[in-house]
Structure 1
Amino acid sequence: MIVAVTGGTGFIGRHLIKFHLDVGDEVRYLTRSTALPLDMRARPICGALSDKEILDKLVDGVDVLYHCAAELHDATKIHETNVIGTKNLLDAAAGKISRWVQLSSTGVYGSKPLHDVNENTPINPGNAYECSKAEADELVFEYASNGHFEAVILRPSNVYGIDMPNQSLFQLIKMVKKGLFFFIGKGNATVNYIHVNNVVHALALCATKPLPGKGCNIYIISDFMRLEDFISVIASAVSVPRPRFHFPEPLIRLIASFGRYFPKFPLRPSRVDALTYIHHYETQKIQSELGYQHQVSMEEGIQELARHAK
């Protein structure tokens, strides 16, 4: 099988490319870097999502195209990369590939849903990144519905692994280890994360399994735990007592509101949100339709992170 990947030098893309190379597939990936290839077995194609000639080269003869490239942080580039770039790639791939697999995000349902989320939950993007991913997904849905190729949109929750660029989980582990962590509210919060190996496994299923129906299929991929159990796993892994202090949520939110005045203040509204979620993302659809099962449990993944935390 011939596989093409955008975002191949990113966190998930690197793992995805290694997976396909290890099973003997031919892999090419789009990159803006002229440095040495990330894996000598893969073929780098240097260029950007704005370059039609390069995109034509990327998709030529491809069986499966994984679109993993996205801008997360630079507000001046989010729409250009995530929406216009996706449109350019769709134009290049239309009628030339067998299947498009889009790496999206559960962020399209909103940053703090009030109820459990499944694929039928209305989208409710809030920030520029979430809006751009929702718009890009809609473009993919449109092209697939018009018969240009089969398509799957995979929406993972927070993706983690020992080589992840986001350090928030490592920071949480450090807080637990130093005895600085405390619970907020009544203790009924949940955490929603998914190990990068599970995401790669799900992406590969999206690329290779027969799909139910025509057009575009959407799947959520996530794992979850009660926050208290999650913290207990971390505490056990770093050999410290489990935190037991609980503080009222209104008080903590008031304190966190002052964080914007102090750049290094560790408590911010977004962090309070993350520690008070009460929803989880349902994965029954990908399990029943594609046979997905977690390759790495959340307990195993968090124990692995704790061993690598500095």
Structure 2
Amino acid sequence: MNIMITGGAGFIGSNFIRFIIEKTESTIVNLDLLTYAANLEYLKEIQQLPNYHFIQGNIKDSTLVMKTIQKFKIDCIINFAAESHVDNSIKNAEDFIQTNIVGTANLLECARLSKIRYLQISTDEVYGSLTEGYADENTFLNPSSPYSASKAAADHLVMSYHKTYDLNINIVRAANNYGPNQYKEKLIPLMLHQISNNKPLPIYGNGLNKRDWLYVEDFCRAIFIILECGKTGEIYNVSAHEEIDNLTLVKKLCHLCSYDERRIEFVEDRLGHDYRYAIETSKIESLGWKPKTNLEEGLIKTVKWYSETKQLES
């Protein structure tokens, strides 16, 4: 199979490329604009492999996308490309609209014209905040931020291409991913950056907002399983059910790094800050997927990776 991976120099995309290169002999074409959160250093160990190719470009460039599909005889697009930082979307939503909605629409049209498969990487944030219970794949979408709204809009576009054009699609909605290669604007690498530079640890509000954490390698396995045996037109939630509030998570990082918890500082809360995300996962589990890395193990692995690679030094 020849696969185009968009956003493959970012956090999850780069982890997935490394994962699939080890599992298969598929030709992998990485199309990435190389914005601020992307880093080709994540893929330096595979850059010379004959079945890996990198192209710098924008997913909104239909000419480039179509030429790439034709040149490499692409069978499937997996779209990891996204603006994903909620704070940035609150300050300026335009980039999120352009990349997450317009970019997705362009990839879908190219997939339709080329009659190839399409996988959309989405987020549990499209379901909005839950006070109790779990969202399944049929739960009404109720996004709160411009970021999650742009991802929900993209998901609707993907489903419309399946229903209207019978495009072979899947949507994968994941809990909060963490692990190697994540840019330091996100909670775990941000806290590790602050710790490594002996700085305060800022937490929004009272720190009791809950998130569900998923080690990135477990998510990569889920995507691979969906690629191999997912049913066309289906949405799959992926979560390890490692639900924890932000304050407790940061205290765990302090313990792992022998850092003083008194350096925690509560700051003004984020606008529209969702209280809790939680998703039901029986559908992906029916395909044989289970998480292998619990939160304690995953945090140890993550701290070790950032320490060894010195990715968080100022």
TM-score (norm 1): 0.76
How far 1:108 sits from its partner (Å)? Answer: 0.9
Looking at structure 2, the residues matched to 169 and 231 of structure 1 have their Cα atoms a distance apart, in angstroms, of: 8
Q: Once structures 1 and 2 are overlaid, which stretch shifts more, 122-131 or 226-235? A: 226-235
Q: Does 1:297 align with 2:294?
A: yes
Q: Once structures 1 and 2 are overlaid, which stretch shifts more, 37-46 or 120-129? A: 37-46
Code of the residue aligned with 1:203 in structure 2: it is I
Looking at structure 1, the residues matched to 200 and 101 of structure 2 have their Cα atoms a distance apart, in angstroms, of: 43
Choose from 120, 125, 150 the match for 1:107. Answer: 125
Code of the residue aligned with 1:6 in structure 2: it is T
1:31-52 Cα deviation digits (max 9, x unpaired):
335x989423321233322322
Q: Does 1:136 align with 2:148?
A: no
Say if 2:124 and 2:277, in contact at 8 Å, map to a contact too: no
Q: Does 1:287 align with 2:272?
A: no
Code of the residue aligned with 2:120 in structure 1: it is Q
Choose from 71, 78, 91 the match for 1:66. Answer: 78
The equivalences for 1:218-297 within 5 A come to 218-223=235-240, 224-227=242-245, 233-234=252-253, 237-238=256-257, 266-270=266-270, 277=275, 280-288=278-286, 290-297=287-294
Aligned residues: 279
**Equivalent residue of 1:28, what SS?**
strand
Code of the residue aligned with 2:122 in structure 1: it is S
Alpha-carbon spacing, 1:192–1:100, altered in 2? closer, same or farther (3 Å):
same
Map of 2:66 onto structure 1:
56
How far 1:109 sits from its partner (Å)? Answer: 1.2
Which runs of no fewer than 5 residues in structure 2 stay unpaired?
Answer: none
TM-score (norm 2): 0.75
Alpha-carbon spacing, 1:45–1:239, altered in 2? closer, same or farther (3 Å):
closer
Say if 1:46 and 1:54, in contact at 8 Å, map to a contact too: no
Q: Once structures 1 and 2 are overlaid, which stretch shifts more, 52-61 or 9-18? A: 52-61
Q: Once structures 1 and 2 are overlaid, which stretch shifts more, 232-241 or 196-205? A: 232-241
Say if 1:68 and 1:103, in contact at 8 Å, map to a contact too: yes
How far 1:15 sits from its partner (Å)? Answer: 1.2
Looking at structure 1, the residues matched to 255 and 145 of structure 2 have their Cα atoms a distance apart, in angstroms, of: 36
For the aligned residues, what is the CA RMSD?
3.5
- Percent identity, please: 27
Looking at structure 2, the residues matched to 87 and 46 of structure 1 have their Cα atoms a distance apart, in angstroms, of: 19
How far 1:96 sits from its partner (Å)? Answer: 2.4
Looking at structure 2, the residues matched to 180 and 82 of structure 1 have their Cα atoms a distance apart, in angstroms, of: 30
Map of 2:26 onto structure 1:
25
Which runs of no fewer than 5 residues in structure 1 stay unpaired?
Answer: 245-264
Looking at structure 2, the residues matched to 146 and 108 of structure 1 have their Cα atoms a distance apart, in angstroms, of: 22
1:171-222 Cα deviation digits (max 9, x unpaired):
54667x999899x98x9975411111112111111211141xx5x2111112
Map of 1:15 onto structure 2:
15
**Equivalent residue of 1:270, what SS?**
coil
